[in-house]
Amino acid sequence: MSRSITELARANVRALTPYQSARRLGGNGDVWLNANEYPLTRDWQLSQQTLNRYPECQPAEVIARYAAYAGLAPEQVLVSRGADEGIELLIRAFCEPGEDAVLFCPPTYGMYSVSAETLGVACRTVPARADWQLDLPAITAQLDGVKVIFVCSPNNPTGNPINPDDLRQLLAITAGNALVVADEAYIEFCPQASVAGWIADYPHLVVLRTLSKAFALAGLRCGFTLARPEVIALLLKVIAPYPLSTPVADLAAQALSEAGLAQMRQQVATLSENRRWLADALADCPCVASVFPSETNYLLVRFTAAEQVFKTLWDQGIILRDQNRQPGLSGCLRISIGTRTECERLITALRPLPGAGTSTEQA
């Protein structure tokens, strides 16, 4: 019996809803505040021209520089095609499809579920508490069969770092049974909250990092997995033979030079300053119900009429990220921090919009 091409695909792939990346969602904007990117780029020059040869699987200079930056040994660092590839490699190396599960705490980053579902690995979700910290008793009750736990800190899209005492407790209750993966994609905006230094104490702790946010290199596709050498060795068994192209390795090494790190820190200072300005200005807009505290390059904001706000801004070319359908986030939009001019344009567009009940009060 002949089947259609679609019917030939794996059942879980047929059922899969792919990750709704900002780029896939489209839009026709000139103020892009929906992907937590850095708003500006600098000029880059390639220094490596030998493109006839395959690249190193793990370019030594990139690894050495990232290890020095993170305060770890080179054997504790893996470089990959974005932190997203790190998420997938961890599930592939540690989770038996159809048997093991991954656990995470919504509202959080969407790729943990997409990668697990693609690989046929079950997802266990334990909603975050009302303050968006870990619900440790509920997690403890759900650990059976869980091999990998993703904890996003600071969390996307809520903006809060995870309480370090809770992370220590989570590491204590999972020791010997599961990996705890701290996704630190935004950690440069609150470096004191990093748990990378704890890898010395916990063989089951893994930390994910990226050049996509504070380093302003989302287009480069370069991320890092930090862990004990035995974890890194397992991931190296399943990674592609040449995960990073020669130009990517070249530019990543430049971004991790002394000058590159100084530039990154300047970028973080600029965005943090803009974030403080934007949070204050948003709090004065009638259509804003609340601005949640953030230690990242984005703000989660609850609006009195989120759908209208999203559409009104979209029509003006200001593109935000809708979080309204995530658990616990009704009425919420996520706003990436742009240049000061972009922040000002956003506020100019928001200020005239009415607050809750304004129209009925007038009617």
Q: What DSSP assignment string belongs to 138-190?
A: HHHHT-TTEEEEEEESSPTTT-PPPPHHHHHHHHHHHTTT-EEEEE-TTGGGS
Q: What DSSP assignment string belongs to 17-51?
A: -----HHHH----SEE-SS---S-----------T
Per CB under 6 A, 117 contacts ligand PMP: no
How many Å from the N-terminal Cα to the C-terminal Cα in the chain?
Answer: 66
Among 33, 93, 146, 185, interactor with ligand PMP by CB under 6 A: 185
Please identify the residue of the shown chain whose CB is closest to the bound ligand PMP: 82
Per CB under 6 A, 193 contacts ligand PMP: no
Q: What's the CA gap between 164 and 92, in Å, rounded?
A: 27
**Least distance to ligand PMP, CB of residue 54, Å:** 23
Q: What is the footprint of ligand PMP within residues 141-160 (CB under 6 A)?
A: 152, 156
Q: Going by C-beta distance under 8 Å and a sequence separation of 6 or more, which residues neighbour residue 185?
A: 83, 109, 152, 156, 208, 209, 210, 212, 213, 223
**CB-nearer residue toward ligand PMP: 109 or 310:** 109
Per CB under 6 A, 304 contacts ligand PMP: no
Selection from 186, 208, 221 nearest residue 336 by Cα: 186
Q: What is the footprint of ligand PMP within residues 241-300 (CB under 6 A)?
A: none
Site stretch for ligand PMP (CB under 6 A), options 11-19, 79-87, 141-149, 335-343: 79-87
Per CB under 6 A, 83 contacts ligand PMP: yes
**Least distance to ligand PMP, CB of residue 8, Å:** 29
**Least distance to ligand PMP, CB of residue 164, Å:** 18
User: Site residues (CB under 6 A) for ligand PMP?
Assistant: 36, 82-84, 109, 152, 156, 183, 185, 210, 212, 218, 223
